[in-house]
Structure 1
Amino acid sequence: MTVPLIGIVADRKSASYGAWVDIPTDAISHTYTAAIQEAGGAPLLFPSLDVHLDDPERLVDLIDGLFLPGGRDLDAELYGSEAHPSNDPPLRVRDELEIALTLLARERGLPVLGACRGMQLINVALGGTLEQHLGDRVDLTPHRDVYGTHTSHPVTIAQGTLLAEITHEREFDISSHHHQGVDRLGEGLVVAATAPDGVIEAIESVDGAFCLGVQWHPEERLDPEGIALIQAFIAAARTRARAKFAVRS
């Protein structure tokens, strides 16, 4: 069985270990990489560095699929807005690298899956905008109650979408932790799921390619719908890997 390589861009976090305190670290939550492995993929981490931004094509050459994880808020300047006071300090090099990889993956037909921030990144990469603080308009509690703790609420899946085909469900509960959301949709995207309050919970491409973003964290809730979503992504990446191998042969 072909084990596809899945590219993930790491964030820069402060970590403490032993005598070392608050050391800048290129890292990503283990729940993401563990879920990709469980679904049959092999994660490959890329640090958020200018050297990769200078030549993102090399990274895309290595991978069979691109996974865009959660994390800090995108730089609002990327979609023509001023930052909301509640926003995280941005890491612009990560934003720009993920956008470059997303666009290249789309050009080359590589599967793309985004979770939480990753869904927002897909939307911005394709020309869309974000609502920077949902709490200004709706009750934020279902989406993010206690900072650092996931909440749960149901989502309704739009029929006829790739997401509906993957999950085989009309509605199910998800694991949520976000305060931003999709505002204007990016080019070639449609809404694939919504929350009870109307907040967009999933988007996908209309061209038949595997380009799908969910506002929730499937890696945190590997129930049938969560693991099915990641497995479908890995299956698409495996198909891509086999096609690439066949061409080389």
Structure 2
Amino acid sequence: MNAADTAIKPIIGLTTYLERAGTDGCGNVRAAFLPEKYLTPILDAGAVPILLPPQPTTGDMIEHLVSRLDGLVIPGGWDVDPARYGQEPHPETDSPRPERDEWEAALILEAIRQDVPLLCICRGEQLLNVTLGGTLHQHLPDVLGTGHYQLGGYQFNGIHVDIRPDSRLGRLLGADALEAVPVSHHQAVDRLGEGLIATAWSEDQIVEAIEHPGAGFCVGVQWHPEQLADEKALFHGFVEAASAKMLSRLRPAAVDSLDFAHEMAAN
């Protein structure tokens, strides 16, 4: 069932940056933000996006928050702190954002525990892998001798990827390969985290997508599907999974309401 077929739309949480940002209204301030391109495909698929800025993960806040979401997106951004996977930082690795790493890692683990649909993009895919015990190649030019995965200057390069056809990603996209997917990364999955499988590779055999077969919907892609104006299948499939999660939450409440109504009528 598509979200548009229901009276209530699924709620999708998207984690955000927390960086210094210049704004016309407030000047140069520390701000939580996310590029609009991440929001548009969620809206187009019939869901409601809400932004989740990095914050402390004390008490049972994460559990309660995730229980109110129908889906979770972990988007791109700065490099994951290599200390999270037991490595010293490479000279080309970004300065760490431990607050964001901690926030998103906690959300990832809780989303998997509660079986909330999870879509991880670029940095998000890398953090999914690290959170489940995997590691990263910190600088692909050292591994491959080429920098074509990250052109710099906030530009995207188009690369070919082969997709495992029997994977969730392959079934959603209906393809065993894609041409010119937009990438901008100098890091990539190395050792896979626990429970994860690789489901797409570049021509250099760099892992470009992963998923967790033991979860209802847990997919990570190294490329940026939000940059493709005609990308529908991945986001619609994700929102359909979120719609199913939403309906599974609503059914017990509906049954309780019906039981209460019957009890009142009997009295």
- After TM superposition, is the score higher than 0.5? yes
Q: Which amino acid aligns with 1:236?
A: A
CA–CA separation in structure 2 for the residues paired with 1:244 and 1:129: 35
- Once the two structures are superposed, residues 29-70 of structure 1 have per-residue CA deviations (whole angstroms, 9 ceiling, x without a partner) of 1110112111221111111112x4552112102211110100
Matched, 1:115 2:85: no
Aligned counterpart in structure 1 of residue 166 of structure 2, from 135, 155, 160 = 160
Counterpart of 1:246, as a letter, is R
Q: How far is the alpha carbon of 1:139 from its aligned partner?
A: 4.2
Q: Give the structure 2 partner of residue 94 of structure 1.
A: 100
Does the 8 A contact of 2:147 with 2:186 survive in 1?
no
Q: 1:34-183 to 2 correspondence within 5 Å?
A: 34-50=40-56, 52-54=57-59, 55-173=61-179, 174-183=181-190
CA displacement 1:184-222 (0-9 Å, x = unmatched): 000111110000011100001122521000000000013
TM-score when normalising by structure 2: 0.88
Q: Does the Cα contact within 8 Å between 1:53 and 1:93 map onto a contact in 2?
A: no
- Cα distance in 2 between the residues matched to 1:219 and 1:188: 26
Residue identity matched to 1:66: L
Please state whether the residue corresponding to 1:137 is helix, strand or coil.
helix
CA separation in 1, counterparts of 2:146 and 2:227?
A: 20
**Which of 204, 209, 214 is the equivalent residue of 2:211?**
204
Q: Which has the larger radius of gyration?
A: 2
Structure 1 runs (4+) greater than 6 angstroms displaced:
none
Which residue number corresponds to residue 13 of structure 1? 19
| Separation in structure 2 between the aligned mates of residue 139 and residue 5 of structure 1, nearest angstrom | 43
- Could you say which residue in structure 1 is the equivalent of 2:241? 236
| Aligned position for 2:251 | 246
- Letter of the 1:222 partner, please give it: A
* Cα displacement (A) at 1:162: 0.6
Counterpart-to-counterpart distance in 1, 2:217 and 2:62:
20
1:218-233 aligned within 5 A: 218-223=225-230, 226-233=231-238
Between 75-84 and 205-214, the greater mean CA deviation after superposition: 205-214
Contact persistence 1:142–1:152 (CA under 8 A): no
Cα distance in 1, alignment partners of residues 135 and 177 from structure 2? 26
Q: What CA deviation, in whole Å up to 9, does each residue of 1:154-208 have, x standing for no partner?
A: 1100121111100011211211111100010001111100000111000011225
Q: Is the 8 A contact 1:86 1:133 kept in 2?
A: yes
Residue 253 of structure 2 aligns to which amino acid in structure 1? R
- Which residue is 1:189 aligned to? 196
When structure 1 is superposed on structure 2, of 6-15 and 120-129 the one drifting more is 6-15
Aligned-residue sequence identity (percent) comes to 37
Contact 1:113 1:233 in 2 (8 A): yes
The equivalent residue for 1:23 is 29
TM-score, normalised to structure 1's length? 0.94
In 2, distance between residues paired with 1:140 and 1:53?
42
Looking at structure 2, the residues matched to 25 and 199 of structure 1 have their Cα atoms a distance apart, in angstroms, of 34
Give aligned pairs, total.
Answer: 246
CA-atom RMSD, angstroms? 1.4
